[in-house]
Amino acid sequence: MFKEGQIISQDLLWEVTKVIKVKDISKIYENGKIEVEAVKGVSFEIDEGELVSIMGPSGSGKSTLMHILGCLDKATSGYYSLNKQDISKATEKELAEIRNKDVGFVFQQFNLLGRSTVLHNVEMPLIYSGMSKKERIERSKDLLVKVGLGHRMDHYPNEISGGQKQRVAVARALANNPSLILADEPTGNLDTKTGEEIMDLLQKLNDQGHTIILVTHEDNIAAYAERTIKLVDGRIKEDVPA
């Protein structure tokens, strides 16, 4: 789908270790006649294997940035590449494929499909990537065992606890072994203890080499990250390694 020539932009030579490269991206929403600039010329890079947190108060543009990083939305201007693919030029169909293969989402609301079993939820990205049934069931089971839910595979999301739901979401995020795990307030709906368990799980995944971006407004969650990017009013206020 992506040929080498297409991927590497002429003026930005790729450094092999960079998973994410963001250069001067902006997002402008048109709300009737009023234009709102949610993200104003943000630039940063993220190395493979990093655990980075993006912090900021509400309205700081961190959700918008997260949507752009997760390929759910496109920046109005600027350059963004994920895993050597130029997202700024991707079509809607290509974005869907990138979300499928290169991004794993962990949401605050868990966002599991209530009518499907835990196992089927984890299978979902694999269904869309076209993996054979036998393979994907095997892979989903492995992932569920990995997050400690080997005994809950046939349950429905409403039959398990919040912490377990988030573990399912993590397993689902890992399904296609993505280059980026994007966790949006992953502990927002959990009590402190379960929240810590989820963070430990993410930490463990990071230790295994997964690149993770944590979007949060809680300092103690951000503290897990090696590096924190602070957004205020659509701009980066500070970008500090821990």
Please select the residue that binds another protein; options are 129, 161, 177, 220, rule is CB under 8 A.
129
Q: Binding to another protein by residue 223, rule CB under 8 A?
A: no
Residue that has been written with the tokens 């543009």 in this structure: 61
| Phi–psi pair at 119, nearest 5 degrees | -60, -45
Please select the residue that binds another protein; options are 45, 73, 196, 239, rule is CB under 8 A.
73
Q: Tell me the window of 9-17, 75-83, 99-107, 142-150 that interacts with another protein (CB under 8 A).
A: 99-107
Q: Binding to another protein by residue 67, rule CB under 8 A?
A: yes
Task: Specify the residue, 61 or 70, whose C-beta has the smaller distance to another protein.
Answer: 70
Counting residues that bind another protein (by CB under 8 A) gives 26
Task: Specify the residue, 61 or 224, whose C-beta has the smaller distance to another protein.
Answer: 61
Q: Binding to another protein by residue 154, rule CB under 8 A?
A: no
Measured between alpha carbons, how far is 66 from 77 in angstroms, rounded to an integer?
16
Q: Binding to another protein by residue 134, rule CB under 8 A?
A: no
Q: Tell me the window of 17-25, 37-45, 82-90, 128-136 that interacts with another protein (CB under 8 A).
A: 128-136
Q: Binding to another protein by residue 107, rule CB under 8 A?
A: yes
C-alpha dist (Å) from residue 103 to 21, 52, 55, 197: 15, 15, 20, 22
Q: Tell me the window of 5-13, 14-22, 69-77, 212-220 that interacts with another protein (CB under 8 A).
A: 69-77
Q: Binding to another protein by residue 172, rule CB under 8 A?
A: yes
From the list 84, 64, 85, the residue with the least C-alpha distance to 75 is 64
Q: Binding to another protein by residue 70, rule CB under 8 A?
A: yes
Q: Binding to another protein by residue 125, rule CB under 8 A?
A: yes
Please select the residue that binds another protein; options are 1, 36, 113, 242, rule is CB under 8 A.
113
Q: Which residues bind another protein (CB under 8 A)?
A: 67, 70, 72-73, 92-93, 96-97, 99-101, 105, 107, 111-113, 115-116, 124-125, 127-130, 172, 176
